[in-house]
Structure 1
């Protein structure tokens, strides 16, 4: 088949010769540093081989689930009792209806890049493609580690709870697998004191840290213990997912009393919850600075909107949305409180609401103090912004108000081992953005310099920024 007769052809998304040159000569062969994802480390260490395409591609992907539900497909064929082949058939039948959703692009890029399948997926070819991929998956060449190697993944960073033993990371560190697999410390369950399961979580944290948690001070001791343990196992990042930053004024006496109330099973007011969350966040961020970590904040998601389906399926099953929280004031207060004490570590802020793009791009400039290149980063388009327009909007805001040249680029934020072509998607969009500027005379035709900037954004900046 001729390259340009394929839907995903060699110049896909590249609209002129400058974009083509930037992508093919500078971007496409750069290794991948995927510094934030939700891949299961046990499946990497075990070098898992999946039985079929549904297991590796559909079973954890709530992007696909939302599209199928919108089309009127019964939950039986999404998360329910239907066979894996039946679920794939329903997804294949959904794909033609996803045009103009990023799922349409991602689907066909992933089929082509991993399996060499250039057909447009539909219900008509679903059974044939399911069988063809099953035959390929049943070989060592398509094991998890080989899939990562195939995509030129130099390093990746999973997301792990403080109570995790990190046994799978330890196994990987001793293995011959060339991709560096690190982790990010995700202690949100220790922060969200308003949760009904908070005290149960502290029991698990106490067991992991071997510290009896019966006070605010002992909670801090336990968290320090786990930060040190993660650090000893190669961790250099943390990650948080908040509706907005916590920056309430508090006193030590207040925070200790709030913990005591929760420990005794008493109800906390909204003000008490925010004070506690602010205090523990400040404590943790000071720890991150002490250990030289990068801190990541994913802001703005409104989670678990559909209570009926949450009760039925649980969290992280496709019922979350964009929130419209006020971000600027609390984010400024938090960053300023850390900076004022010279304890602001390298920080990445991700935004889930496009109306906040310019504010976020402006905010990071307030705390880039010249000590580190791109110390405070406006993270790439996240979740609902993880699509062509969202990426362009984020890069345009960063270009207009900050320095795109210092940007650390793309990540998958995915639970799927087939998501790494999203780096290619981002790189093509980046090169096309710059290529159009060259064609329009808004940038000079200096391929050597602009090509360097492309390589920096795709790989070099992240390589310099992170200590893996």
Structure 2
């Protein structure tokens, strides 16, 4: 019987152990998509206790706690202390067995704090106190944790109107870890609510210094901010979309739709999709002009529970997998850009696992021989960010594309304790390849090449692809 969370955790054979310990374990981390707060990095924030760093903003844990019968005040309640929330989390942890939270929780305790005890009600107070004492020392500050995990670069997620003051401060300071912004223009295409859209246009106008009265002005303002982001080191965009938008439209139609929604009138569904198609396309041209990588996270249905959404707000654990039909629109969108030879490097992340083979084959349509792995099938995302989900994503990519050109893992997290997700991914990758070797499906004589493959997927492919 193997021991839980030993040095060979997840690794099921000698070849997997060799690949991980000799080729993956010690590589730096490039976390090219996350939701860390750059202010906390710039100010080298120190967390007061384990409950604050672990439960503040973690909707994964909140969902599990609710499912375990824990009241909302212990999840998102502002009146409840960090210890009270942590105590309820510790009560929930034993019930998360076979959920990735169980693995993540104990990996984080072990790799950050050196704690190998199992978290449960009986150990909660001791673990809380020990971790809290360490968190109050300089080595466990925001920057200290990034250095502890050998982080080389992170890309945060930022709105076009953001001042990027903290990115600029870090850049001017010469902080050893690159902290770069990512362009996330979702609000510029959110025309479902005319009042919110108009308010955002006013903020965009103020940030860019461009008076916005028509669609062309909006694009000019976005271009202005796009240039600013580039000046601060941005190299990626990111789009959170339900599905790909590729409706046919004329410029006159888009101009009229802008005028209508800007004037406060509700749009038809057809008008909404046409407008989103135009903004998505025009934004992709900007990315191509600068040689950025564009990312598309698609397939989520957000804020499903109206009652609790009104109580707790967005990003608190009421989102789920959607079942959109996307193949034709995805192909049409990519082809529209490729026809004019203006398709930049692209990463596509699906949330519905049924789309794994769809995405893996779609990216093959638009590889053009100019850049290895130019169009990427992104790593298992959100609900698929677990052992089975990552294995399924890599198996689809292996079967239908080139795993060897994959840019690998990211945290997609708001927590400075989430970096063990890279370790988790690397262990899973090594076990997949090691098992193939042990079963005679890959040649043991090519172990040197396979070791290099592991290194590339874990680190070097991302380093070359993004050119940080």
- Both proteins in one fold, TM over 0.5: yes
Corresponding position of 1:275: 274
Which secondary structure does the structure 2 equivalent of 1:159 belong to? coil
Corresponding position of 1:32: 29
Say which of 59, 64, 67 aligns to 2:64: 67
Which secondary structure does the structure 1 equivalent of 2:237 belong to? strand
Which secondary structure does the structure 1 equivalent of 2:155 belong to? strand
Q: 2:30 touches 2:459 (CA, 8 Å); kept in 1?
A: yes
> C-alpha distance in 2, partners of 1:195/1:238?
23
Change (3 A) 1:5 1:13: closer
Instruction: Say if 2:454 is the partner of 1:457.
Output: no
Corresponding position of 1:16: 13
Corresponding position of 2:372: 373
CA shift, 1:5, in A, is 8.1
User: What stretches of structure 1 of length at least 5 have no aligned partner?
Assistant: none
Taking only aligned residues, the RMSD between alpha carbons, in angstroms, comes to 0.9
TM-score between the two structures when normalised by the length of structure 2: 0.98
CA shift, 1:76, in A, is 1.0
> C-alpha distance in 2, partners of 1:227/1:318?
31
TM-score between the two structures when normalised by the length of structure 1: 0.98
> C-alpha distance in 2, partners of 1:84/1:176?
34
> C-alpha distance in 2, partners of 1:293/1:393?
28
Instruction: Say if 2:81 is the partner of 1:102.
Output: no
The within-5 A match list for 1:301-312 is 301-312=300-311
Which secondary structure does the structure 1 equivalent of 2:296 belong to? strand
Instruction: Say if 2:132 is the partner of 1:134.
Output: yes
User: What stretches of structure 2 of length at least 5 have no aligned partner?
Assistant: none
> C-alpha distance in 2, partners of 1:175/1:28?
30
CA shift, 1:176, in A, is 3.9
CA shift, 1:290, in A, is 0.4
Corresponding position of 1:399: 398
The within-5 A match list for 1:200-239 is 200-239=199-238
Say which of 186, 190, 193 aligns to 1:188: 186
- What does the per-residue CA deviation read over 1:108-146, in whole Å, with 9 as the maximum and x for residues that have no partner? 000000001100000111111111111111110101101
- What does the per-residue CA deviation read over 1:427-465, in whole Å, with 9 as the maximum and x for residues that have no partner? 000000001000100001122110000001001110110
Q: 1:7 touches 1:118 (CA, 8 Å); kept in 2?
A: no
CA shift, 1:177, in A, is 2.3
CA shift, 1:6, in A, is 5.7
The within-5 A match list for 1:1-400 is 7-80=4-77, 81-196=79-194, 197-400=196-399
> C-alpha distance in 1, partners of 2:174/2:236?
23
> C-alpha distance in 1, partners of 2:414/2:100?
17
Q: 1:169 touches 1:182 (CA, 8 Å); kept in 2?
A: yes
- What does the per-residue CA deviation read over 1:372-392, in whole Å, with 9 as the maximum and x for residues that have no partner? 110000000000000000000
Q: 1:6 touches 1:118 (CA, 8 Å); kept in 2?
A: no
Deviates more, 1:445-454 or 1:424-433: 445-454
Aligned length: 465
- What does the per-residue CA deviation read over 1:194-229, in whole Å, with 9 as the maximum and x for residues that have no partner? 134111111111110011111001000000000000
CA shift, 1:62, in A, is 0.2
Which secondary structure does the structure 1 equivalent of 2:437 belong to? helix
> C-alpha distance in 2, partners of 1:193/1:288?
22
> C-alpha distance in 2, partners of 1:348/1:232?
23
Which secondary structure does the structure 2 equivalent of 1:417 belong to? coil
Q: Which runs of 4+ in 1 moved over 6 A?
A: none
Q: 2:193 touches 2:266 (CA, 8 Å); kept in 1?
A: no
